Every structure is written in C-alpha cells, then in structure tokens.
Amino acid sequence: MASNLKTTARYAQMKEEIRKFIVSGQWKPGQRVPSEHELTVQYNVSRMTANRVLRELTAEGFIERKQGVGSFVIELYPISSFLQIRDIKEEILERGHQHEAKVLTLRSFQCDASLAEALRLKPGADVFSTELIHFENHRPIQLEHRFVNPAVCPNFLSLDLSTATPSHYLFEHAPLTEAEQIVEAILASKVVAEALEIRRGAPCLLINRRTFSGKEVASVARLYHPGDRYRLMGKFKP
C-alpha cells in the first residue's frame, strides 16, 4: 500500500511539474519533452508511469508525440475574450448583497528578484503590499494578496481599503490598459483555509493577475476563492 501511494505521489508531481513548465512558457512550443527513459531517471518512476504521464498530457492537448522522434510541446493558443477585470465589491453589490473587507496587512518592503521581474522593477526596489479578505453577506469570498508598483499609486499605503478595494483605487490612479490572467484549481493551504473559513485541502480557485497602466505594471495579485462559493464567468469567442 505504501509503495502504491509513493508511486501515485511521484506520478502527480511529475505531471504537474511538466504541465507548469508548458503553461508558464518555460518550455517553448516545439521544444522536445524528455523521453520516457529520461523521465524515469529524473523522477525515479517506472517506464509505465512515465508513459502514462505523456499519454495524458497528449490527450489534454499540452504535447504531441511523433512516432520514432519523440514528444514535443504544442503551442497553446489563447482564446480572445471579453472577460472584464472587475472590482469584486461591485460584483457583490450588483447581486444585492453586502460587501465587507478585513485588511490583514498593508506595508512597504523591498522586492526580491522574482517579484521585481513581474513588476518590471529592479530587485530591491520598494513595493507596496496588502492582504485582505473580502466578505459577501458576512461569508469570506476572496483572499486578496496584491503587490502594487509605487510609481502608479504613491499614496497607496494611506488609503482606506476597508471602504474601497485596491482595484477601485488602482482604476482611479492608474487606468487599466492591459491585463494578464491565469486561473488555476488548487487545494487550500492552512493560511488560505483559515482566511476563507474552509477546511485545509478544500478545492479553491486561484486567479493570478497582472495589470498594466500604459507602459507600467500597476500590480500583481493572487486572488483565492472557495471552490463552492465562487464562479468565474465571461463571454468568449474564437
């Protein structure tokens, strides 16, 4: 039994890592994916497990397998959409419900290399950060963790985020011109579970969002939602 659990864990880890390499762009379209043999060595799994991962990723449209040549990353074509970047308070009020916000943190700190790259700043540059919980009719609906570029909203730390959301202020100070958004299904960590009042490991929806105002990156946000209380809706066309 223990052996089966270890095999399942390695299979899940391998599949998730390869999927993230592709979705994040770390592995480029047309790039060769490690062979079954290479994966067995790298992840310490059986040939059967490596084959299963490649077969499933092929079926899900992430890679293509060419007989006698190998497996290669498929170009992921984004769907153009009319999905709006909206203020969650406005969404809640439109439903006729009550919105409340609890600010957990609001501070300035020096960003590391990863965050600096996302915000297009120099490592060690000052960045504003806030973490807050949004409530709908007294039930937590979103945990927001946002990093703000001081250049687009210099007075961010003096704003009252309990009455108006970070999105509201950013729309006012740095009109939105572009946005990037990645939606993931995750399991709640201890911190997320406590904030959203759900059990640890419960299904959640995570929205990773980066917004632009002109040539500046305005903010980078991670938005966590309980899987049973939130739906992401939009209109799409090819």
Query: Taking the domains of the chain in order of start, what are their residue ranges?
Result: 2-73, 88-226
Q: What is the pLDDT of residue 98?
A: 92
Rounded Cα distance between 44 and 26, Å, is 22
Q: Fold for 88-226, please state it.
A: Chorismate lyase (3.40.1410)
* pLDDT value of residue 80: 40
Of 152, 158, 144, the closest CA to residue 119 belongs to 152
**pLDDT average per 10 residues of sequence, the chain (238 residues):** 55 85 82 91 90 86 84 65 69 87 95 92 95 93 95 91 88 82 90 94 91 89 84 52
pLDDT for position 199: 92
CB 125 within 8 A of CB 216: no
Q: Does the domain made of 2-73 have the CATH classification 1.10.10.10? A: yes
Backbone angles phi and psi of 49, in degrees to 5: -65, -45
Helix residue ranges per DSSP H, 2-112:
2-23, 36-43, 47-59, 88-94
Common-topology check for domains 2-73 and 88-226: no
Model confidence pTM above 0.85: no
